[in-house]
Chain A
Amino acid sequence: MSWRSSLSPLLILLCGCSPGASPPVSGIPEPRSGYHFQSQDTQNLQDDDFANPGMLWVDGGMVLWTEAPETGKPACADCHHAADMSGVASRYPAYDKSLDTVLNLEARINHCRTERQGEPAYPWESEPLLSLTAYVAHQSRGVPVEVDISGPARPFFDAGETYFHERRGQMNLACVHCHEHYVGQMLRGDKLSQGQPVGYPIYRLEWQTLGSLQRRLRFCNTGVRAEPLAFGAQTWTNVELYLKWRATGLPGEAPAVRR
């Protein structure tokens, strides 16, 4: 038997799977948090647990967490033990079997509200949703990001990866141009970061308030003069999944402070 014929079953095995299931390759081999692209002052503000303005929302989220809904159904704290919440945000967005889609942290919180608490979903970017998200995400501070992109989550991941590499807007720019090709260079007064979503929701000095990753992504849309996608669009969750995978191994920072 020649070497060629003895290898062929192995080759078939390697190539037999669909192209979408081959392991993705990150354009950022050494992920660095956006923290490293901030000024010393901004970093100090994030590091100070008292002065970090994002902690106002964490405090507010803690209250909502234990507050029983008017429907008489359980409060968040009645089902979820505080100790178990560490690391949850680092695993999101995650695939949900019953809904057959990927959910980000905000969508998961709202799903719990409508399904288990019998309450209406919080509007996107509303104060209570930001507060609860900040409270949950804060408990994953220091926990390395690791999302599951295998199996049914893979098509959502692939869609997010495609979006990241597609040109858009009057500027005709893709995410990859700024956040991979020109990382560390100046864009007006800002240093271009790698676009690692590890500190969301973030307190952004420009916003003067806390905001979600989707708000930041919409801001990028506007930046390249593209029409921003709506809050809660499936595409955003796909992009979030792709970005979180790109940040694998980076510790959570929520609530981060950014310029």
Chain B
Amino acid sequence: MAGARISVPSRARSGEVISIKTLFSHPMETGYRRDALGLAIPRDIVSEFVCSYDGRAVFRAELNPGIAANPYFAFSVRADRSGTLEFRWTDQDGNVTVETRELAVEP
């Protein structure tokens, strides 16, 4: 099932710490498993997740084969300016999934 779920408030007060949650649909196949015929199932993982806020990376994670399917990340960001939050998942083959959300910050 392709897709991502992102939870981020659309507006915040300046200086407020907002909570961001992401859930990304991916099998995170380890490469260590075998199928019913005994053949190795090739590795297929997301290798990097980056969240940028107004062009600056505010959260970065490197993923490894031990991480469960459909990786979920929750983190906090201090809202200090209006801008775009960009969520970028890169898989092991360099395929990129990007989602964006606008955040309006009131003084």
Contact = CB atoms under 8 A, between A and B. Distances in A.
Interface of A: 50-51, 53, 55-57, 59-60, 127, 130-131, 205, 208-210
Given A56-B1, A56-B3, A60-B2, A51 B21 contact: yes
Given A51-B21, A51-B72, A208-B68, 10 more contacts: A50-B7, A50-B21, A53-B23, A53-B69, A60-B1, A60-B3, A130-B1, A131-B1, A205-B68, A208-B27
The 7 closest A-B CB pairs, nearest first, are A208-B69, A53-B70, A60-B1, A56-B25, A56-B1, A50-B7, A57-B1
B35 to A, nearest CB: 14
Interface residues of B, number: 14
A59 B25 CA distance: 11
Contacts of A205: 68
Interface of B: 1-3, 5, 7, 21, 23, 25, 27-28, 68-70, 72
A60 B5 CA distance: 11
Contacts of B5: 50, 55-56, 59
A67 B7 CA distance: 25
B70 A56 contact: yes
A127 B23 contact: no
Contact of A209 (B21, B69, B72): B69
A209 B72 CA distance: 14
